[in-house]
Structure 1
Amino acid sequence: MKARRTPWWYYLVAVIVGAAAGFAMSALTQASQFSLMGAPWVVPVLLVALGAYVFYEAYQVHLYVKGDRDDLDPIRAVNTLVISKALALAGAALAGWYGMQLIMSLSHAEAPYFRTVIIECAICTVVSILDMIVGMVSEWLCQLPPREGPEHPKAIEAKRKRKLAQSPANKAFTKMHRH
């Protein structure tokens, strides 16, 4: 199995999907008597705690990879990589969700309800962006160095040099300059 870094455009798609959902929620709230915008204060607290936990776990994997830690369960390392990717994507989607609610609420800032929504969404947007960044950094911390196999940079360079040395032009050049 070969894990790959999450492409940048996945985050962009997550932000767009989150923003579309946030727009729909804002439009529904403004067109009806439902009060679904904003976030309870426990949400940013939980998001910060989750980000801290994921970063801690990723740092433990990084210490193991560097050789500064003796033992680490491989399943724990893989799970840490998975939750790092999930945190980054969820952070992107939530940043779009809360960011769009924030933007949609700005025109109603004079109303006490929307003033509260603006504050809640601003805090949640910032925390979600931080979680996205923490997830991306944690994913990077979970990287393993390349193995000494055919995909290792040293092996690729050695293969390139062998091909160059075996090329007909190089053989002719070597014959001419030996004498």
Structure 2
Amino acid sequence: MKVRRTPWWYYLVALIIGLTGGVGLAMLDERMATSLLGAPWFVDVVLMAMGIAVLALALQVHAYANTDPVKRPHAFINPQRAMITLVLAKALGLAGAALAGWYGGQALMCLTHLEASYYYDAAVECAIALVICIIDMVIGIVSEGLCQLPPDEGAENPKLKRAERRRRLQQAAAKTAK
């Protein structure tokens, strides 16, 4: 299975869709006198924790993928875990872009009403969430790159062939020495 990098314009489309939704929600909030704007602090904490977790997983996959194949038998990473990490990185990048648009649209619409404490608080909450979502988007993009295998990986890797040959010679020498 060949996995491709997420094209740059996917992030742009997600950002625009989120921006449209955020602006629409702010307009609805203004017309209907509801209190839907803003982001609870818990959301910011969860988004940041998810970004850190995905980055930590991606760094583990990257460390394993770039380990010398000779030393690799001592270190093992489950291929399923590596694939899930890649999917999480892609999802974090796209969700970060969409949520950045969502909170950015809300913050943008609140700028005209900053004299009211409700809109000021919502603008501050959305600005903080916007920064965290942009950080998550960047972490997702970087993590996706960290999950990429080096170009010379696979069964035809000459280092793997040499390592296998060396291991067999060592086993044969150990048997003859006994």
TM-score class normalised by the smaller sequence: 0.7 to 0.9
Q: What TM-score do you get using the length of structure 1 for normalisation?
A: 0.81
TM-align CA RMSD: 1.5
- Percent sequence identity is 55
Match of 1:79 among 70, 73, 84: 84
Matching residue's letter, 2:97: A
User: Aligned partners of 2:116 and 2:21: how far apart in 1?
Assistant: 23
Corresponding position: 1:106 with 2:111: yes
Partner of 1:120: 125
Partner of 1:141: 146
Correspondent of 2:136 among 112, 131, 140: 131
Equivalence for 1:171: none
Give the partner amino acid of 2:137.
Answer: M
After the TM superposition, which segments of 4 or more aligned residues of structure 1 sit over 3 Å from their partners? none
TM-score (norm 2): 0.81
Question: In the alignment, does 2:9 pair up with 1:9?
Answer: yes
Q: How many Å apart are 1:148 and its aligned residue?
A: 6.4
What stretches of structure 2 of length at least 5 have no aligned partner?
A: 158-178
Which AA in structure 1 matches 2:6? T
What are the ranges of 5 or more consecutive residues in structure 1 without an aligned counterpart? 153-179
Q: Distance in 2 between matches of 1:146 and 1:2?
A: 13
Map 1:47-62 to 2 at 5 A.
47-62=47-62
Separation (CA, whole Å) in 2 of partners of 1:129 and 1:145: 27
> In the aligned structure 2, how far is the partner of 1:39 from the partner of 1:45?
11
Instruction: For residues 52-101 of structure 1, give each alpha carbon's deviation from its aligned partner in whole angstroms, at most 9, with x where no partner exists.
Output: 00000000000100117610000000000000000000000000000010
**In structure 1, distance between residues paired with 2:10 and 2:152:** 27
What is the Cα deviation at residue 34 of structure 1?
1.3
- Give the distance between the partners of 1:133 and 1:9, measured in 2 at CA: 14
Query: What's the offset of the Cα at 1:145?
Result: 1.5
2:66–2:150 contact (8 Å) kept in structure 1: no
**Amino acid across the alignment from 1:30:** E
